[in-house]
Amino acid sequence: MYAFNYHRAKSVDEAVKLQKSASEGSFLAGGHTLIPTMKQRLAKPSDVIDISGLKELQGISVAGGTVTIGAATRHGDVANSPEVKKAIPALADLAGHIGDPQVRNRGTIGGSLANNDPAADYPAAVLGLGATVHTNKRAIEADKYFKGLFETALEQGEVITKVTFPVAEKAAYMKFPNPASRYALVGVFVAKTKGGVRVAVTGAGPGVFRSADMEKALGASFEADAVASIKVSSKNLNSDIHASADYRAHLVTVMAKRAVAKANS
């Protein structure tokens, strides 16, 4: 790891200022993406600004049909939250299958969304439920937040403060995990929401995306059979040592079917 200066921010405002005054400042939340990347010398921030302990970024609350999760809330806290389990069980279930217990004891929702790994789980829930990402500057709808491979609508020095999820009528997430890393080879989040059915796919392409064909079919009939014969095109999907684009396309249909069955069960 290259050397850097470490700062423990006392507030979001201070974190933003510290980031601005650094030549290359990086926020640190759970560290479970940033530290491995720095260890491999793929990232070399001049300054690391620790925001993990900030009270204003913590906590889970449910009110008026909305689940609010502070950006520095750990995966394990979302997975074990009785409120989340009750309001959006699919979200708690998703968080409970991220990586392994030690990853969940440290990794945070804000870190996961800022990083936007193409195989990460949270992006599927955020896009699938039509959540809103709140920052120190603005509120960004899920449909406008994800911009493809590790790209998001966040600007330099913008801090995610919380995420708000509208409670869905029904929802479920199914992932086919990479057996070594537990990241999603393919993961599909389906939700029956007030605004209609939403289907979000992670792991398969360069970034999380919605399947309009599946949403239409499930809008007409929210049954596993409705998506059984719908295939997403493998044209823009990932191909690597873990799976070919064709296999990933196949898995999207399988995971979508299973997710709908789970949502209905």
Residue ranges in contact with ligand FAD by CB under 6 A = 26-34, 36, 71, 98-99, 103, 107-108, 110-112, 114-115, 117, 120-122, 159-160, 181-183
CB of 40 to other proteins, least distance (A): 7
Which CB atom, from 156 or from 233, has the smaller least distance to ligand FAD? 156
Place of tokens 């004891």: 105
Between 61 and 80, CB nearer to other proteins? 80
Partner from other proteins, ligand FAD, none binding residue 26, C-beta < 5-8 Å depending on class: ligand FAD
Q: How many angstroms separate the CA atoms of 174 and 94, rounded?
A: 8
What kind and span of H or E run contains 82? helix 82-87
Q: Find which of other proteins, ligand FAD, none residue 71 binds, CB within 5 to 8 Å per kind.
A: ligand FAD
Contact 136, 159 (CB under 8 A): yes
CA atoms of 261 and 265, how far apart (whole Å): 6
Contact criterion met (CB below 8 Å) for 98 and 60: no
The CA distance from 48 to 155, in Å, is 17
Contact pattern for other proteins over residues 176 through 215, marking x by CB under 8 A? ----xxx---------------------------------
Question: Does the footprint of other proteins cover residue 103 (CB under 8 A)?
Answer: yes
